Amino acid sequence: MPLQGGTMRRPRRRLPLPFFLAALAVCARGEPRWPCYHGPNRDNRSADTGLLASWPAEGPKLLWTASGLGEGYSSAAIAGGRLYTAGMIEKQTHVIALDMDGKVLWRTPNGPSWAASREQQWAVAYAGARGTPAVDGDLVYHMADMGDLRAFDARTGEVKWHVDLLRVFEGERPKYGLSESVLLDGDALLCCPGGAKGYMAALDTRTGATLWANTELRDPVGYCSPVIAEIDGVRQAISMSAARVFAVDPAGGSLLWQHEFGNPRQNSATDVIVHDNAVYASCGYRGGSVLLRPRRQAGGRHVVEQVWRVPALDNHHGGVVRDGDFLYGAGHEARGWFCLDFKSGATRWQSPGKGSLTYADGRLYLLDENGTMALVRCTPEKWEAVSSFKLPRGGKGLYWAHPVVCGGRLYVRHADQLFAYDVRAE
């Protein structure tokens, strides 16, 4: 039945908060687990402790290098003693499983890969898989560049179900291909096909059947991935289109609130961050950074206050990490690595560079897009680089895949190869 733009198919189970807290702690105490893009809490923060406080000049010990992953920017998902990623091989997107020693266990196609159009010849070099797989028990999920969403058997790679998202939801071919990493929420998989019959949709994780589809949003699709958070007691799925930050009810798909925010290039690739009932968003091409405070009014309607907006930390696609009341990441046209005050938007420090990052054990792991990995103290007081080393090359192109720290290891993807480093302290 219709529900304010969201079509509800059936109720679904919601996992309790303790499940997520327990999952977040697994890396630190047992089997390594980073089951989806930016980790179990989607905040890009590793629970690992006891890591190296600095590195030798040549970098930490390289444990292994895995090859045969194809081209692309997909990061690593880790669960059940395996790693999962995606890559373009012979113009087809493949989902790939490896063991913890870097041996490829299976490769299964997931539809055609995005390629630059005739009008985009300058972007030919950017072809390759985008989204990172998500793992839940015995299934692995991945949305490919051209809208093919599949569930795979985690052990064998067998396809369990397939949905052509652009066809089902009448979405248009995105300018740079779908780049989202799907979000699992209990029995539902959330994604943004960006179509007339569903800008955001929830699918049954076991069958691929549509649970709901929101048709209230009509913007071009964004390139970021959704997060789920509770603000003022209201649980919501929050993401960005090419033109706005928005939130929907994850139980039924109705639009809760929206706020215009974007850039002239319609390229919003950075996940939002929710903290203290406020939503931080960032986008490149001079979009800058913004802090929003949605509030629920009597009768259920939401109003959104823009707390601040600054040109600093206009993140391209390397991600932003929050630690306490401070934000860390790289700007795009506002050049450099930044630390911003979450509450005010004030710049605490700025240092040259651009890339992606992750957080672990009081340190920022900064991957420069030209292949230098740096270890930086996570502090708002000043830029304090501790160590750095030059990564090997896994093929052509820039180092755009986001790094992962889990189970005492640093994983870095470049093109056809994945590098695993031992970052445990002795």
Choice among 11-25, 79-93, 196-210, 327-341 with the minimum mean pLDDT: 11-25
Q: Using one digit for the tens of pLDDT, what is the confidence trace for 180-227?
A: 999 999 999 999 999 999 999 999 999 999 999 999 999 999 999 999
pLDDT value at residue 117? 79
Residue 345 has pLDDT above 70, yes or no: yes
Q: How far apart are alpha carbons 6 and 398 in whole angstroms?
A: 39
Q: What is the mean pLDDT of residues 93-103?
A: 98
Q: How far apart are alpha carbons 389 and 400 in whole angstroms?
A: 17
Residue whose entry in the numeric block shows the structure tokens 């820039």: 398
For residues 95 and 104, is the Cβ–Cβ distance under 8 A?
A: no
pLDDT value at residue 238? 98
pLDDT value at residue 6? 54
Which candidate, 225, 220, 228, places its Cα nearest to that of 244? 220
Q: Using one digit for the tens of pLDDT, what is the confidence trace for 148-172?
A: 999 999 999 999 999 999 999 999 9
pLDDT value at residue 115? 82
Q: What is the DSSP string of 191-211?
A: E---BTTBSEEEEETTT--EE
Residue 253 has pLDDT above 50, yes or no: yes
Q: How far apart are alpha carbons 366 and 220 in whole angstroms?
A: 31
CATH 2.40.128.630 fits 19-41+75-215, yes or no: yes
Which candidate, 178, 186, 156, places its Cα nearest to that of 239? 178
Residue 289 has pLDDT above 90, yes or no: yes
| pLDDT band at residue 299 using 50, 70 and 90 as cut-offs | confident
Q: What is the mean pLDDT of residues 19-33?
A: 55
Residue 24 has pLDDT above 70, yes or no: no
| pLDDT band at residue 395 using 50, 70 and 90 as cut-offs | very high
Burial class, 186, CB count within 10 angstroms (exposed 0-12 / middle 13-18 / buried 19+): middle
Which candidate, 59, 41, 19, 63, places its Cα nearest to that of 407? 63
Q: How far apart are alpha carbons 24 and 285 in whole angstroms?
A: 33
Q: How far apart are alpha carbons 226 and 247 in whole angstroms?
A: 9
Domain boundaries, the chain: 19-41+75-215
Q: What is the mean pLDDT of residues 360-381?
A: 98
* DSSP conformational letter for 153: E
pLDDT value at residue 166? 97
% residues pLDDT > 90 (the chain): 85
Residue 21 has pLDDT above 60, yes or no: no
Residue 302 main-chain phi, psi, to 5 deg: -105, 145
Q: What is the mean pLDDT of residues 34-46?
A: 97
| pLDDT band at residue 19 using 50, 70 and 90 as cut-offs | very low
Mean pLDDT, rounded, of the chain? 92
| pLDDT band at residue 31 using 50, 70 and 90 as cut-offs | confident
| pLDDT band at residue 120 using 50, 70 and 90 as cut-offs | confident
